[in-house]
Structure 1
Amino acid sequence: MRLLHSPLTVLCTVAVGLGAIANAAADEAPTAAQSADVGPARMETMTILGNPNQIDRIGGSAQYLSHDELDTFRYSDVMRVLRAVPGVYLQDEEGFGLRPNIGIRGSGLDRSSRIALLEDGVLIAPAPYSAPAAYYFPTQRRMSAMEVLKGPSSIRVGSRTTGGAVNMLSTPIPTGQSMLVDAGYGQDDYRELHAYYGGSTEHLGWLFETVQQDSDGFKDIDGPVGGDTGFDINDYVAKFRVSTAANARFFQSLEFKYGYTEQDANETYLGLTDEDFDRDPKRRYAGSQRDEFESEHKQYQFNHLLTPASRAWDLSTAAYYNDFNRNWYKLGHVGGVGISSLLGDPDTYAEELGWVRGEDSPDDALTLRNNNRDYFSKGIQSMFSTDASLLGADWRFTLGGRYHEDEEDRFQDEDGYRMDSGRMVQTSDGAPGSQTNRVSDAEVFSMFTEIEMSAGNWIVTPGMRWETIDLRRRDFSTDDPDRSEGPTRTRENTTDILIPGVGAVYSFNSRFELLGGVSKGFNPPAPGSSADEEESVNWEFGGRFRQPSWSAEMIGFYSDYDNLVGTCTESTGGGCDIGDQFDGGEATVYGVETSVGARATGVFGSGIDVPVRLAYTWTPEAQFDSGFESDFEPWGDVEDGDDIPYIPQHQAQLAIGLAANRWQVDVVANYVDKTRTVAGSGSIPGDESTDEYLIFDLAARYSFTDRFSAFTRVDNIFDETYIVARRPSGARPGKPQSAMLGFRYSF
């Protein structure tokens, strides 16, 4: 049986798949220069891939989701969007994607902290080095495109190269005067408005944009208090650009972006016992009636582009500052027992569970924590690229650097409550900073270089990134709220890391090419961490096929960890000191990513097109290669050969549509295999597993005129019920059936 899941099997699978693709690709063999325009182009300063039409030249696997692809379903949940990308792993939590959990190629996915998150080419996590957990995430509805980078292609982005990067591209300033109003209403009193107005002249450009979203939520809180379980998001963006004439001797463009986002969500970490989930998956215990997440995010970004009329080189620079504060006031302990332990063993903690359900309790039986944290990140980054023809080859040289600082300030306290006839009554008020009083910060300087060499049928792209990371954690006394006495303990750690990689593309003809690459995987440690750095060697090999009516891609990946690191967070269930890191030792993850896209035109003898898209990820092995003991709840005591949790063996998406001149209907099916929620081997215990599920979404739209259209969407058409996660604490349901109807006016 072991042989069936060996790397050799994966390699053979890729080889067979590529052989089938290659048989369809018989054609004359052009040179790489003939198959793609290698001339320099004015770069979009906010993209990583540059021109998405030349993605096949990338020395590593990468995916680009265009505006049209995002617009098909108009999802506000980024995790539903990313189901279309193979090799991306997702763990739902509350059904709306407010704080998504995204991983790439088995990197781990807690709060998307194991990958690099960017908006318009700039790191966007609250504190990307000192506290990368994505409690802020850009509003999906104002994104015009997305880039997903894996393998060697992610080296230019940042140090989290174990998995890769997701870059979200916001609405660009329109080339001409343009306006959009997109409004919708749906179940659970869901309301959404996306609107913008902008335009450009020869030298000036501007954009004003907003997204407004709110919902009452689909869960019901026990007891007389009740209340909604939804959220409210207000998002505003303004952009201004000034530029020289397009034919100036040196073209320059300076763009400024300001963004403001506030969110109020009645969300909780408290899930359900399996027994209660089976009775009513939409139930929320009375003990979560006070739970609330509040946040405010501000972003400032300048982008500058300089390139000569000859376009022989270009220099792009971005300066940024992000400020984020949030407070998640939520239930943490009941009778001194953590909620994860309570729901994991309801028989032992039957009395405490009764209090959570609404039975009368003593004073201070329920403790809620003010998880109050302030963050900032700031920096400047620049990239220079130039082209040359030397030694019979075409070259593109790229050199970049970034200076970055970020900080997380935790100032937290706890309040006590008693349950009184289903109502929570406050019985104690914790002093500010009396639970956690600490500051973590990071200072990072990095440089990267990349050389693309194109000769004959080959494109080879070696790259290298160097980072020096200075991390510090200062702990202050919980009796010193103004921090006048200075830190009680300071821990510092410095990391100097060199991250090399190389990717190669070989074009057999204008339709078929092979690609391969190897790169160093790395994740920086946390401030003050005593754990070793996370390092791996990542390999990939596959092929792409392109022709006007359809395309296909199959890539095998293999990640060989020298040390896999876990980080203790409340969102993984707690049970350890928050922020502590654990060495997982050697580990192995490998699998195959497959994507196919096609569009049949004029079917049924009419003007109807049929677009079809498939994304499939097979991960036969994601396991620890050594045994150890840890207090990290998702791992626990690990034995050699245990599976890494939350990595499904199979996941797939199949989308099919019917598109005519004025209307379009699309259906997408998402399948996810059951996953292990705690490290282990053999058959998965029922209380340590998510559910296998297959759900269908439907979207339709009709254009009355070129400017006015109506649309509808139904998520989870058949109202499937399934456990999507068991963390942070207890069983959590996937989003039930929900429908919305809306209209769009634009010019």
Structure 2
Amino acid sequence: MAFKSTALLQPNQIAKALGCALPILIADFVHAADDKTVLQMPVVEIVGADSSLKNMAGSVNILTQEELFKSHVFNVNEALRKIPGVNVRDEEGFGMRPNIGIRGMNPTRSTKTLLLEDGIPLSYAPYGDNASYYHPPIERFASIEVLKGPEQIKFGPQTISGTINYLTPNPPSTPSGSLGFTGGSRDFYDGQFNYGGTWGDFGGLVDITHKESKGARDNTHSDINDFNIKGVYDVDSHNSLTLRANYFQEDSQVTYSGITDAEMRNFGIRYNPFKNDTMKTDRWGTSLTHQLSFNDDVMLTTNAYWSHFHRDWWRQASTTTDNQCGFTNARAQGLAINPDSCNSTQGRLRDYYSYGVEPRLHVNHRTLGIDNELDMGFRAHFEEQYRTQENAKPLGGATTISEKNERDTEAYSGFVQNKFILGDFSLTPGVRIEHVNFSRTDELKSVGGKTSLTEVLPAFGTTYSPNEKITTFFGFHGGFSPPRVEDAISNTGTIIDVGPEKSWNYEVGIRTKPYTGAKLDAALFRADFQQQNSVGSIAGGSTPLATGEALYEGAELLARQDFGPLFASDHNVYFQAAYTWVATAEMTSAFRCLGSTSDCNGVTARELANGAYIGNRLPYSPEHNLTATIGYSHPSGFDIHLETVYVGKQFSDFMNLKDGMDHPDTTNNFRQGRSGQFGQIDDFVVLNVATTYHVKPINTDFFVSLKNLLDETYIVDRTRGILPGAPRLIQAGFKVNF
């Protein structure tokens, strides 16, 4: 599948960005070409094909469009759980703010994961605030690629865990489209329309999605609209252009705070009293890609991209210990509260602009009698954050401004990687350089500050493929994740000695198709952090920012067997399992507190700094994750499968408390111990069933799916208080292809 990326810069940055850029090709990710695609579209190296995987020195997993559809995943969380090494934590039950962790990393807001769409940064501030408060609907994508290991240095800035690339579909060769509708319990509606085609040298595709549903809790509801267009123009035999543009809109009733243990006991796990909390977002994005093919061996691709994310979140509580409304003691005791009696609401208003230019070059060359593949590239990337907090008293009344901040980031990065192909072996050394400038201004106080950092990230990988059925690989690389602007520079303009997260990452693995219908991918991994920036139980709350050394070790496995091909039968029974074992996820040194003086005098902060928790398991890192599927496909077009999702127990704090009431801060035990923010999260099992029947005469698919078949109740998060997993969901629908 052709993969393109493009974008527009802010006018005042175009000259600056282009002046620093080199032309270059995206020789990055992977996907097999769609047989309906005829135009020469910007495309990365095909990773899904055996020819490329043979020399890929790292773990690669791909979710195909067929697998996504037949599973009838209704959010990205369901999809990514099918990938080994990936731990996805639910939040509001709709998948709009995913929490994605890879190989044991804390999944909160996906801050440790690099998210791309068609090779372009998807997060609204990947350098200055890599938090996912936005995610496009899963229906937009044709496939998903997950890359781990040393070849991550071709992307960035985050290289400490893994890279996820979402691929949008390309225009078909013949005008065609589809119309789908899904309805279900909890007022779930999902409608999608797409149409596209190729006319001469031009191809175009439009995709429209509308989704709405109640969330996993009381007083929650999400309503989203997503519009996406893609146009491709073959200028001549050597040049092509791709234009992408999208608009996303969300209007949700959703709160930020979880609930306390006492509230859960008295009112149930889905209790949420904050009926007045609302979130509205808009995101505009566009990109432009120029691909220049000098010949069959030299390809230059230049991407330019721009996005604007706007968010208004009005809420009456951030956490269960937030006393904005004076409800803290009542909530800790499990007493009913009335949010209408709260004489306060806070608007957390945000605008993020992200734009840049990225040329990439791919060259196949033969030097000293050795076949080589050279990839190199440069990126000039810019971010602007405008953050305002308005406080309204009474509810819906006049507002006062308590925060008005501008936070800017300029980032310049480059990489070079050369793959030496030596028969059955390949050697791939590479290096990436990141230089980031941060600035922050408090416009209410007219104070601010600036700082910068530069990091060099080496990488090396090797593969051995003695035959077409097996490839072994080994690699290591430098992991890097920049600090947030707000962590590097205080609100008074003081420079804080945070520094980036840095690690040495190692993996060794195997990819094999030992016999017909069988596939096995396995890897051992190790991430040794010289510095990890961690927040304990509260994202930006009572546990301050702390840095220290940490170690993650484990194994991951993807196994699949299709018995139909094995026995040359049109009836196919299949089995697939994605398993992750994070054997080690622990602090290996005392953590240095970087919060305010009052924060760092807290019990948890002092014990962290004194090394009291060395050897403890890090928060939100379950030891075991398993997604296993068994299914059957009939040659008539019928498919049914049962999916089992298991997530092991995990801790929600550095102290590894089994119960919140074990909190050592006896002075604040009433507030802390009963907040729901501390304590163990038990393991849980969820069963999902999906069935599909394709009616060939009318080219239509009919389907039914059941999520959480046994209606299990379980906790998924304690970050801001207890959040539940989704209840049983029944969904049914159809998709007409025309």
What is the aligned counterpart of 1:616 among 579, 583, 586?
579
Alignment correspondent of 1:225: none
Name the CA shift for 1:602/1:324 in 2 (closer, same or farther; >3 Å).
closer
Alignment correspondent of 1:257: 244
Asked if the contact 1:119–1:138 (Cα under 8 Å) also holds between the matched residues in 2, the reply is: no
Alignment correspondent of 2:527: 559
1:405 Cα deviation after fit: 0.4
Alignment correspondent of 1:423: none
Alignment correspondent of 1:499: 457
Tell me, in whole angstroms, the C-alpha distance in 2 between the residues paired with 1:398 and 1:332. 49
What is the aligned counterpart of 2:443 among 464, 467, 476?
476
Tell me, in whole angstroms, the C-alpha distance in 1 between the residues paired with 2:339 and 2:478. 54
Q: Deviations over 1:241-295 (max 9, x none)?
A: 11045xx3xx221011110010011111222222332455453343x11111100
Tell me, in whole angstroms, the C-alpha distance in 2 between the residues paired with 1:51 and 1:306. 23
Tell me, in whole angstroms, the C-alpha distance in 2 between the residues paired with 1:605 and 1:197. 36
Alignment correspondent of 2:621: 647
Correspondence list, 1:9-158, <5 A:
45=42, 47=44, 52-53=49-50, 54-158=52-156
Tell me, in whole angstroms, the C-alpha distance in 1 between the residues paired with 2:503 and 2:387. 31
For the aligned residues, what is the CA RMSD?
Answer: 2.8
Q: TM-score, normalised by structure 2?
A: 0.84
Correspondence list, 1:72-471, <5 A:
72-221=70-219, 229-244=220-235, 248=237, 251-281=238-268, 283-286=270-273, 288-308=274-294, 310-332=295-317, 339-340=320-321, 349-350=329-330, 357-358=337-338, 364=343, 367-417=344-394, 426=395, 429-431=398-400, 434-471=401-438
Asked if the contact 2:128–2:482 (Cα under 8 Å) also holds between the matched residues in 1, the reply is: no
Tell me, in whole angstroms, the C-alpha distance in 2 between the residues paired with 1:514 and 1:43. 33
Structure 2 counterpart of 1:292, one-letter code: T
Tell me, in whole angstroms, the C-alpha distance in 1 between the residues paired with 2:112 and 2:565. 44
Asked if the contact 1:74–1:141 (Cα under 8 Å) also holds between the matched residues in 2, the reply is: no
Asked if the contact 2:94–2:213 (Cα under 8 Å) also holds between the matched residues in 1, the reply is: no
Tell me, in whole angstroms, the C-alpha distance in 2 between the residues paired with 1:48 and 1:390. 21
1:459 Cα deviation after fit: 1.2
Tell me, in whole angstroms, the C-alpha distance in 1 between the residues paired with 2:85 and 2:320. 32
Name the CA shift for 1:587/1:219 in 2 (closer, same or farther; >3 Å).
closer
Asked if the contact 1:43–1:50 (Cα under 8 Å) also holds between the matched residues in 2, the reply is: no
1:230 Cα deviation after fit: 1.3
| 1:168 partner SS | strand
Asked if the contact 1:120–1:168 (Cα under 8 Å) also holds between the matched residues in 2, the reply is: yes
| 2:524 partner SS | strand
Tell me, in whole angstroms, the C-alpha distance in 2 between the residues paired with 1:317 and 1:596. 37
What is the aligned counterpart of 1:526 among 469, 484, 487?
484
1:79 Cα deviation after fit: 1.2
1:643 Cα deviation after fit: 1.4
Correspondence list, 1:550-589, <5 A:
550-566=518-534, 572=539, 574-575=541-542, 582-589=545-552
Asked if the contact 1:634–1:678 (Cα under 8 Å) also holds between the matched residues in 2, the reply is: no
Tell me, in whole angstroms, the C-alpha distance in 1 between the residues paired with 2:533 and 2:660. 25
1:684 Cα deviation after fit: 6.5
| 1:85 partner SS | coil
Name the CA shift for 1:634/1:387 in 2 (closer, same or farther; >3 Å).
farther
| 1:136 partner SS | coil
1:90 Cα deviation after fit: 1.8
Correspondence list, 1:532-543, <5 A:
532-543=499-510
Tell me, in whole angstroms, the C-alpha distance in 2 between the residues paired with 1:621 and 1:452. 32
Q: Does 1:737 align with 2:728?
A: yes
Asked if the contact 2:260–2:331 (Cα under 8 Å) also holds between the matched residues in 1, the reply is: no
Asked if the contact 2:512–2:520 (Cα under 8 Å) also holds between the matched residues in 1, the reply is: yes
Tell me, in whole angstroms, the C-alpha distance in 1 between the residues paired with 2:44 and 2:712. 38
Tell me, in whole angstroms, the C-alpha distance in 2 between the residues paired with 1:204 and 1:121. 22
Asked if the contact 1:285–1:358 (Cα under 8 Å) also holds between the matched residues in 2, the reply is: no
Structure 1 stretch 203-212 or stretch 52-61: which is displaced more? 52-61
Name the CA shift for 1:356/1:152 in 2 (closer, same or farther; >3 Å).
farther
1:137 Cα deviation after fit: 1.3
User: Number of paired residues?
Assistant: 661
| 2:651 partner SS | coil
Alignment correspondent of 2:16: none
1:194 Cα deviation after fit: 1.4
Alignment correspondent of 2:705: 713
1:619 Cα deviation after fit: 0.7
Tell me, in whole angstroms, the C-alpha distance in 2 between the residues paired with 1:255 and 1:55. 27
1:369 Cα deviation after fit: 1.4
Structure 1 stretch 114-123 or stretch 622-631: which is displaced more? 622-631
Name the CA shift for 1:475/1:597 in 2 (closer, same or farther; >3 Å).
same
What is the aligned counterpart of 1:694 among 677, 681, 685?
685
Q: TM-score, normalised by structure 1?
A: 0.83
Tell me, in whole angstroms, the C-alpha distance in 1 between the residues paired with 2:84 and 2:339. 46
Identity %: 28
Name the CA shift for 1:604/1:515 in 2 (closer, same or farther; >3 Å).
closer
1:81 Cα deviation after fit: 0.6
Name the CA shift for 1:130/1:551 in 2 (closer, same or farther; >3 Å).
same
Asked if the contact 1:152–1:502 (Cα under 8 Å) also holds between the matched residues in 2, the reply is: yes
Structure 2 counterpart of 1:508, one-letter code: P
| 1:503 partner SS | strand
What is the aligned counterpart of 1:545 among 512, 517, 528?
512
Structure 2 counterpart of 1:55, one-letter code: L
Q: Deviations over 1:325-378 (max 9, x none)?
A: 001111227xxxx534679x99x81378678622995x63xx321010001100
Name the CA shift for 1:540/1:169 in 2 (closer, same or farther; >3 Å).
same
1:390 Cα deviation after fit: 2.6
| 2:564 partner SS | strand
Alignment correspondent of 2:471: 513
Tell me, in whole angstroms, the C-alpha distance in 1 between the residues paired with 2:40 and 2:205. 20
Tell me, in whole angstroms, the C-alpha distance in 2 between the residues paired with 1:351 and 1:301. 47
1:49 Cα deviation after fit: 5.6
Tell me, in whole angstroms, the C-alpha distance in 2 between the residues paired with 1:256 and 1:95. 33
Structure 2 counterpart of 1:429, one-letter code: A
Asked if the contact 2:695–2:701 (Cα under 8 Å) also holds between the matched residues in 1, the reply is: yes
1:382 Cα deviation after fit: 1.0
Tell me, in whole angstroms, the C-alpha distance in 1 between the residues paired with 2:202 and 2:540. 50
Name the CA shift for 1:445/1:568 in 2 (closer, same or farther; >3 Å).
farther
Structure 1 stretch 95-104 or stretch 351-360: which is displaced more? 351-360
Tell me, in whole angstroms, the C-alpha distance in 2 between the residues paired with 1:491 and 1:43. 47
1:130 Cα deviation after fit: 1.6
1:159 Cα deviation after fit: 2.0
Unaligned runs of 5+ in 1: 1-35, 37-41, 222-228, 418-425, 478-486
